[in-house]
Structure formats: C-alpha cells, structure tokens
C-alpha cells in the first residue's frame, strides 16, 4: 500500500516529467521552424537572388580603418615612450620592452634569462617583500607581470586610473630594484627543473625542440636549458643579468589609457 506522502512524490515526478516533455516538444518545434528557413521557402527575394552568385565576383566597399596615432617621446635618460590615450575605460596599461633575452645566456647557464624573468616580479623588491608586494597589488586590483623570452624582456602593469601613481612606483621598483628573494628563486628553479623533466611528455614539444636544435646549431637561439645548466645559475647571476640589461636607454615604454 502506497502512503499519502509517496503518492504526492509520484504526482510531483509525473508533473515534472510532463513539463520536461512539453519543453522538449517546444524546442523540437522551434528547431523545425528554423530548419525551414534553410530550405529557401522563407528566404527574402534578395537572399534568393544571391544564392547563385559566384563569390569570386562579389565586390565590397573598402574597409575603413584608422590606425590610432600614438605620441612618441624620448626622455633625457634615453628611454623611448609611446603614449596612446584611450579614455573609454578608467584603466591604464604600461609595458616596458627591453633588449634582453635568452640569446644572451652563457653557454653553461642556459635558462638564466628565463629564470630571471620568472623571479623579477615574484621575488619582491628592495622595498617590498614578495608577500607585501602581492598583497598591495591585490588590494588595488592592480597587476605587474614580468617575462623574458628569446630576444626581449617585458614587464607590464595594469591598473585602475586612480591607483596609477602607486602602481607605477611599484612597477619602477620591480624594474630597477628587484630583490630576487632566495625562497622565490628556489621555487622558480624547482619549477624550471620540473618542466625540463616533463619536456618529453608532449610529442609536439619534442619536435619543436629538436627542430630548433638542428636549425640553430651553434647559435644562441639553439640553446636548450638542462637540469645541469639551471642548477648552475645562482642568485648573483640573476642580479648581474638584471643590472646589465635593465636600464632606461635599453627600454621602450608603451603606455595606453
């Protein structure tokens, strides 16, 4: 014998089933209506007229695009600045590009540039520890990132306009006064070594690496980090790399906002 509560539960299930089936029928009907449009029966005369047109004979008005004009300024310290005003949103983006990269890695310390780029921001500054820097940027909803590729380094910031002054000050510290905190350096080294250990997990990565090894044999672009070369990199090496390449006359600054 089915209890009253069980009967109510079955009733609710049946109602939900009916609603589900009704929804499915409506969706199916809508799909049928849409598919009829593709048969050509409901198409406009203009669309029907174009149906047999050779696409190679079609002509269109020229696409008008005006490249935004940026202002170029060279500072007394040699830094070149490109400024593009965009007041659509209260956000400012700044990126510093520097002539530095893994092509300058010593043969016995391949990976130096990448490791320096990984810890330039994460390692804090001489005025702010890594945790202090993280907290302050998070509080302002600002970001500062650093990276060094084969032929250039870039350090970028993104911030709300009202927080630009303070974020820019932290940005300058990251560029000129990185601390390379030992704990963060060790963490970046472990991450790099783990990446080397797993480099054969992806066949595409293997092919790309070996192709570069053949094409750039004997060239700095052909340098491939190994566990030995990464372990040979010291914190002092990173400090020296930063001091050698991170200076105003070696920097191009792009500012928008």
Count up the domains in the chain and report the number: 2
> For residue 7, what pLDDT is reported?
47
Comparing 17-21, 79-83, 146-150, 239-243, the range with the smallest average pLDDT is 17-21
221 plus 139 within the same structural domain: yes
**pLDDT at residue number 87:** 87
Label each residue of 231-249 as H, E or C.
HCCCHHHHHHHHHHHCCHH
Please indicate, yes or no, whether residues 137 and 92 belong to a single structural domain of this protein: yes
Instruction: Report pTM.
Output: 0.72
Query: Does the pLDDT value for residue 233 go beyond 50?
Result: yes
Low-confidence winner among 32-36, 52-56, 143-147, 192-196 (lowest mean pLDDT) = 32-36
Domain that includes residue 20, residue range? 4-50
Closest to 175 (Cα-Cα) out of 156, 152, 158: 156
**183 and 89 within one domain:** yes
Q: Are residues 79 and 134 in the same domain?
A: yes
Same domain, 124 and 22: no
The pLDDT mean for the chain works out to: 85
Q: What is the pLDDT of residue 10?
A: 42
Residue pLDDT, tens place only, 17-26: 454 444 544 4
Angle between helices 164-176 and 130-140 (to 10 degrees): 150
Work out the pLDDT band at 13, boundaries 50, 70, 90.
very low
Q: Looking at residue 196, which CATH number applies to its domain? A: 3.30.830.10
Write down how long the chain is.
Answer: 257
Q: Could you read off the pLDDT of 48-80 as tens digits, one per residue?
A: 455 678 888 888 888 888 888 899 999 999 999
Task: Output the pLDDT for position 209.
Answer: 87
| 192 shares its domain with 222 | yes
Residues 35 and 134 in one domain: no
Question: Based on the domain organization, do 84 and 45 belong to the same domain?
Answer: no
Residue 63 lies in a domain: no
- Burial class, 212, CB count within 10 angstroms (exposed 0-12 / middle 13-18 / buried 19+): middle
Residue 214: inside a domain:
yes
Residue 173 lies in a domain: yes
Residues 21 and 94 in one domain: no
101 has a pLDDT exceeding 50: yes
Mean pLDDT of 117-133: 97
User: Is residue 60 in some structural domain?
Assistant: no
The pair of structure tokens assigned to 59 is 């002509």
Do 224 and 135 reside in the same domain of the chain? yes
User: Secondary structure of the chain in the HEC alphabet?
Assistant: CCCHHHHHHHHHHHHHHHHHHHHHHHHHHHHHHHHHHCCCCCCCHHHHHHCCCCHHHCCCCCCCCCCCCCEEEECCCCCEEEEECCCCCCEEEEEEEECCCHHHCCHHHCCHHHHHHHHHHHCCECCCCHHHHHHHHHHHCCEEEEEECCCCEEEEEEEEHHHHHHHHHHHHHHHHCECCCHHHHHHHHHHHHHHHHCCCCCHHHHHHHHHHHHHCCCCHHHCCCCHHHHHCCCHHHHHHHHHHHCCHHHEEEEEEC
Q: Is there a domain that residue 66 lies in?
A: no
Residue 40 confidence (pLDDT) above 50: no
Please report which confidence band the pLDDT of residue 2 belongs to, taking 50, 70 and 90 as the band edges. very low
Same domain, 14 and 98: no
Which pair of structure tokens corresponds to residue 112? 């130096």
- Does 61 reside within a domain? no
Q: What is the pLDDT of residue 57?
A: 85
- Within this chain, do residues 44 and 87 fall inside the same structural domain, yes or no? no
User: Is 218 among the domain residues?
Assistant: yes
Residue 55 lies in a domain: no
At residue 44, the pLDDT reads 52
């Amino acid at each position: 014998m089915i209890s009253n509560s069980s009967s109510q539960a079955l009733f609710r299930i049946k109602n939900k089933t009916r609603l589900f089936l009704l929804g499915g029928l409506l969706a199916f009907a809508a799909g049928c209506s849409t598919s009829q449009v593709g048969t050509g029966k409901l198409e406009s005369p203009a669309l029907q007229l174009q149906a047999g047109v050779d696409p190679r004979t079609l002509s269109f008005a020229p696409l008008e695009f005006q490249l935004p004009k940026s202002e170029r300024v060279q500072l007394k310290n040699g830094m070149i600045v490109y400024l593009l005003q965009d007041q659509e949103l209260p956000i400012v983006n700044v990126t510093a590009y520097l002539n530095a990269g893994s092509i300058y890695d010593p043969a016995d310390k391949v990976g130096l540039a990448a490791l320096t780029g990984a810890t330039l921001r994460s390692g804090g500054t001489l005025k702010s520890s890594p945790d202090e820097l993280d907290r302050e940027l998070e509080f302002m909803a600002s970001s500062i990132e650093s990276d060094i590729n084969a032929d250039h380094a870039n350090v970028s910031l993104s911030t709300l306009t009202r927080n630009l002054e303070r974020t820019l000050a932290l940005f300058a510290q990251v560029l000129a006064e990185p601390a390379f905190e030992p704990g963060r350096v060790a963490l970046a080294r472990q991450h790099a070594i783990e990446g080397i250990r797993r480099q054969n997990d992806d066949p595409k990565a293997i092919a790309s690496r070996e192709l570069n090894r053949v094409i750039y044999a004997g060239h700095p672009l052909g340098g491939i980090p190994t566990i030995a070369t990464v372990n040979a990199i010291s914190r002092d090496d990173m400090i020296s790399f930063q001091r050698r390449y991170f200076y105003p006359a070696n920097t191009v600054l792009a500012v928008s906002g």
